[in-house]
Amino acid sequence: MHKMQEPSLISTNCKLLYLASADFIVRTAYQMGKTPLLPLFAVGLGANTIFLGFIVSASTLTGMLLKPLFGLLSDRWGRWIWFFIGTLLFSIVPLFYLWVENANQLLILRLFHGTATAIYGPVTVAWVVEQGKEESTIDSNCAERLGWFGMARSSGYILGPLLGAAMLTVFEPEVVFVIIGILSSFSFLPILLLKNRCIPVRTFKSWRLQFKDALRSGFQTAEIWFAGLLEFAVFLGLYSAKAFLPLYALQQNISILWVGLFFTTQELTHILVRPFGGRLSDRKGYLPVISAGLSLAALSLGLIPFATSTQPLLLLAVGFGLAQALIFPSIIALYAQKIDSRHTGAGAGIIGSFKNAGKIAGPIIGGLIIDWHDLSWMLWIMAALLMVWSLGLLLNTFSKKFFIIQW
């Protein structure tokens, strides 16, 4: 087992603020380049509708495949070096868009650009998880800490598209990508403030032994697979709704503006409540809180077909945002209690891969269900999946036979 040896001159809260600031900057800049900038840029290069779908989802695919690898590497070499490499990629890669001449080149660049998020995802989560373990053997506020960090990360998903759209009214897409690179470089300051001054102490003898040990730990830690599958299920429902809710709005003669307001309301609620959802799960137990969140998410999705006007639709958006705030901090904290500390990054990477898989599979499976029946059935099936998970967790919580001893 190894432990990152750092001077204790900086408090945990300050270090968390530094990392959250860096993550907020790069995530905001990255989202500026996704919507609406990327689709417009791709169409301008001649991408058709199908190829546009591949371009938009390329970086998510990269994350799904590479997150476990970068998590594993950060377990061996330490977190900070990967913060630095990820920040470097976020800052430099946007400049390469200046030389993109066709849609094929754009697809390749998007796959490479996704490497930055594949690094930041598991490495930052592993670092946040480890902060509570540095000070005591019992981590009593892991979910709350993840909630505050997630609040900063998710804020970029709202601010980024707004900034990107505003800049498109003034600049050409290529210029906006340059601005994105420059903005991302500001995250070097908080990252440099986090730099370790002592060399990490490790006992891994070889790559082969570390890989075998991480693989064994992963397969033997049921919480990793539970947390990963749960994130997959939630993002399956969320991204299927994101993909096809505009169609529902057209069917109900609801302005597309209200669809945008639905997702803005949902994400704002998620961001504002997330730290308190984490605190609640630290106090009351992860499983009951996750179960409550899943039930609320299921109800919010399942009732969308009955929302024929804007007010009920926004109320359901608030419900789904509250559900996310209860679920996501608790899932990672749940896994963090059982994972071997030598493999925190690899475990976070596996869970991140499941999350990305849900993002990719949601629109595909949702589309197949709609083709089979209709949009309402798609939402009801996704809601039923979440409700089954919720009831299963609730039964295990009350029977006290589940693998997490945290009530």
**At residue 1, does pLDDT exceed 50?**
no
Q: Does domain 220-399 have CATH number 1.20.120.1200?
A: no
290 vs 242, higher pLDDT: 290
138 pLDDT band, cuts 50/70/90, is low
Q: What end-to-end distance do the CA atoms of the chain give, in Å?
A: 28
pLDDT confidence tier of residue 176, bands split at 50, 70 and 90 = very high
- 352 confidence band (pLDDT: 50, 70, 90): confident
- The band of 23, judged by pLDDT with boundaries at 50, 70 and 90, is very high
pLDDT value at residue 5: 41
In the beta sheet, which residues pair with residue 3?
201
pLDDT at 3: 44
What is the DSSP secondary structure assignment for residue 201, as one 8-state letter? Answer: B
pLDDT of residue 107: 93
pTM for this structure?
0.82
pLDDT for the residue 99: 94
pLDDT class of 403 with cuts at 50, 70, 90: very low
Q: Round the average pLDDT of the chain to a whole number and report it.
A: 82
Q: Higher-confidence residue: 227 or 111?
A: 111
Q: In the prediction, which pLDDT does 214 show? A: 64
Residue 371 near residue 240 (C-beta atoms within 8 A)? no
State the pLDDT at residue 330. Answer: 87
Name beta bridge partners: 154. none
403 and 391 in contact (C-beta within 8 Å)? no
Tokens of 354: 């499941």
Q: What's the CA gap between 314 and 266, in Å, rounded?
A: 8
What is the pLDDT, as a whole number, of residue 308? 77
pLDDT of residue 347: 80
Query: Average pLDDT for residues 50-73, to the nearest whole number?
Result: 86
**Residues carrying CATH 1.20.1250.20, the chain:** 12-203, 220-399
pLDDT greater than 70 at residue 361: yes
- Top pLDDT among 366 and 341 is at 366
Please say if the pLDDT value at position 134 is more than 70. no
Q: Is the pLDDT confidence value at 405 over 80?
A: no
For 378, the enclosing helix (H) or strand (E) is: helix 375-399
Statement: residue 200 has pLDDT above 60: no
| pLDDT at site 297 | 92
3 three-state secondary structure = strand
Q: Which CATH class name applies to 12-203?
A: mainly alpha
pLDDT > 80? residue 216? no
372 pLDDT band, cuts 50/70/90, is: confident
Give pLDDT tens digits for 285-327: 888 899 999 999 999 999 988 887 788 888 999 999 999 999 9
3-state secondary structure of 290: helix
Q: What mean pLDDT comes out for the span 22-29?
A: 94
Residue 54 confidence (pLDDT) above 50? yes
Residue-level pLDDT at 195: 76
Q: Is 319 helix (H, G, I), strand (E, B) or coil?
A: helix
Widest Cα–Cα separation across the chain = 64
- Predicted local confidence at residue 104, as pLDDT: 93
Residue 206 banded pLDDT, cuts 50, 70, 90: low
pLDDT confidence bin for 396, thresholds 50/70/90: confident
Averaged pLDDT, 144-169: 87
What integer pLDDT is reported at residue 139 of this predicted model? Answer: 59
